[in-house]
A = this chain, B = another copy of it.
């Protein structure tokens, strides 16, 4: 079993300098403490709460940023795609294509993503049971692609709140694919601020640590140097300057968890 992978970056790509700044800081922190690192950034926020929420750089500019981050820092990069047409061009640049939670049952998108041969990270819909992901996985597998990651990002729990069910991690792992804990989206409060989503940033490290102790393959964490002024998802992002300490602690839990794998 490999050490923990940390998938981290800003919610949305803002510009190249900003992406490089965050990627560099995270690469360094992960290298220092022995974590694998994948840089995450979105070129389009396609399902903002409000029509006036900032959408992002767009696919062309976004991919240029991703390409430059890869070239400059030699790190794998991940972004989310929203329709079939985006799959091929994104896969030319990015190592991991991410299926957004709301879209995790859209057959054509899963198949188009799978066909690229890239790694596909599927976020479990807030409306799905962990065992339902077996059917989702089969859609990607139907393309012959078995480079799949499954991400827990919280489940609907009443209105405007999610709950992260820790049973979901071993249940999804039963598919045989690596499981990722999305520590920052699982503490989101969708629509909780009226025109935008709220979040409980303070609990993101709680979620990350619990999941790492259980033995997940990776954690997914959105981070920003100034979350409160970030263009999206500020309420649940972890400040960048807290990330090195967090990575250090998570790696200690990771070593202990992997030395004592849970048998289910």
Please report A residues at the B interface, Cβ cutoff 8 Å.
46-51, 55, 82-83, 102-103, 105-108, 111, 125-132, 135, 138-139, 142, 155-161, 163-167, 169-170, 187, 190-191, 195, 200, 202-203, 205-207, 209-214, 249, 252-253, 256-257, 260, 262, 264
Q: What are some 10 contacts across the A-B interface (CB < 8 A)?
A: A46-B107, A51-B107, A51-B111, A82-B108, A163-B165, A167-B206, A170-B202, A170-B203, A206-B214, A210-B214
Given the complex, which residues of B lie within 8 Å of A170, measured CB to CB? 202-203, 206
A191 touches B102 (CB 8 A): no
Q: Does A107 lie within 8 Å of B47, measured CB to CB?
A: yes
The 9 closest A-B pairs by CB, nearest first: A158-B158, A213-B213, A129-B159, A210-B210, A156-B156, A47-B105, A132-B191, A126-B127, A51-B139
Smallest beta-carbon distance A173→chain B, Å: 11
Cross-chain contact of A49 among B135, B159, B260 (Cβ < 8 A)? B135
For residue A94, give the distance in angstroms from its CB to the closest CB of chain B.
20
Expressed in whole angstroms, the Cα–Cα distance for A264 and B90 within the complex equals 38
Indicate if the CB atoms of B102 and A103 lie closer than 8 Å: yes
Interface centre among A142, A155, A159, A161 (most CB of B within 10 A): A159
Inter-chain contacts of A190 with B (CB < 8 A) = 127-128, 132
Closest residue on chain B to residue A129 by CB atoms: B159
Closest chain B CB from A149 CB (angstroms): 18
Structural contact, B51 and A142, CB atoms closer than 8 A? yes
Given the known interface contacts A55-B107, A159-B129, A163-B163, the answer about A253 and B50 at a Cβ–Cβ threshold of 8 Å is no
Taking CB atoms, residues of chain B closer than 8 Å to A264 are 202-203, 206
Chain B residues contacting A253 (CB-CB under 8 Å) are 213, 253, 256
Q: Do A129 and B210 have beta carbons less than 8 Å apart?
A: no
Q: When the two chains form their complex, are residues A106 and B139 in contact, meaning their CB atoms are under 8 A apart? A: no
* Interchain CA distance A131-B131 in the complex, whole Å: 24
Minimal beta-carbon separation of A169 from chain B (angstroms): 8
In the complex, the answer to whether B161 meets A209 with C-beta atoms within 8 Å is no
- Complex CA distance for A165 and B210, rounded to whole angstroms: 11
Residue A167 contacts which of B108, B187, B195 (CB distance < 8 angstroms)? Answer: B187
A129 with B205: in contact, given A102-B106, A107-B46, A156-B155 (CB under 8 Å)? Answer: no
